[in-house]
Amino acid sequence: MLNIATLGPKETFSDLATQQYINSQSQPFNITYFSSLSETFNAIGSECEYGVLPIENLSEGYVQVVLEHLLSTDLIVVSELLLDIQFSFVANCKNHSQLTDLYVQFVAHGQCSEFINQLSGVRIHNTQSNIESLLLAENKGIGAGAIIPHHALAQVKSDYLINKNVTNYENNQTRFLVLTKQAQPRLKGARYKTTLVVKNENDCPGVLGNIVNAFASKKVNLTSIMSRPTKSQFGKYHFFIDIDGHQLDENIHASLEQINAEYPVTVIGSYIKAN
């Protein structure tokens, strides 16, 4: 049986995304839970053959800690998943004025910022996972609250104060990536997306323009581009890029060759595009 890593404990959104991926596969998997996104990433290819990690939220953008790992990884993206995200507020008190402490996962914080900013005189504690937020609030006791996934309300005591939806945006979604060491065969007729990194190691002028022009000239649809500092000096960046299509498509292959003639290109994976 294959092992697949994800952010725990059970019932996190990462866990739901992992279950979604497992249900689409014919082979059995054993889920191994880790307490942080970095630990999850580092387990892929060593303790676990596969891993599922959040990469981008509809309102908050990229998950920076995962993005940083992807910039220097030898892992391959083999699938992406889209998950609807809705958060609820729960607290061991009768009204909001009695709330003293709020536990919220560091990514969820931004997705529920409008509700959180309305709270006054409350100590905010950032956590590594949404279910950890619930457990810490329960351990803290009276006056403690948490931002948790809506589906986790079944775990909450009936006498708790509950706000069922505190998410900033009604159509909130998060995109997850499935990573492993081995690329999967290309399926005929499937709609693909390719993720890659272009490194600006020589600090040349016009890097971004040259990259965009290389794709545009071959009619490649560039869906996302994110600059990340090289951490060697100010003003020097690498580029994390998503494009429509498979890296073996003739126009994409030609574009990548053109870019690679000037700047190092690493293709992290070509994978079927999520609906």
- pLDDT recorded at residue 181: 96
Q: What is the pTM of this model?
A: 0.86
Instruction: Say if residue 52 is in the same domain as residue 69.
Output: yes
- pLDDT tens for 30-64 read 999 999 999 999 999 999 999 999 999 988 889 99
- pLDDT recorded at residue 55: 95
- Within the chain, which residues score under 50 in pLDDT? none
189: tokens are 């007729």
- pLDDT recorded at residue 236: 65
Instruction: Say if residue 176 is in the same domain as residue 62.
Output: yes
Domain that holds residue 78: 2-85+172-180
- pLDDT tens for 189-212 read 899 999 999 987 666 677 888 999
Assigned domain for 186 exists: no
pLDDT > 90 fraction of the chain, expressed in percent and rounded:
81
CA distances from 256 to 66, 106, 248 (A): 24, 35, 10
- Residues with Cβ within 8 Å of 222's Cβ and at least 6 positions away in sequence, in order, are 212, 215, 216, 241, 242, 243
Instruction: Say if residue 121 is in the same domain as residue 79.
Output: no
- pLDDT recorded at residue 227: 83
- pLDDT recorded at residue 207: 82
Instruction: Say if residue 264 is in the same domain as residue 215.
Output: yes
- pLDDT recorded at residue 81: 97
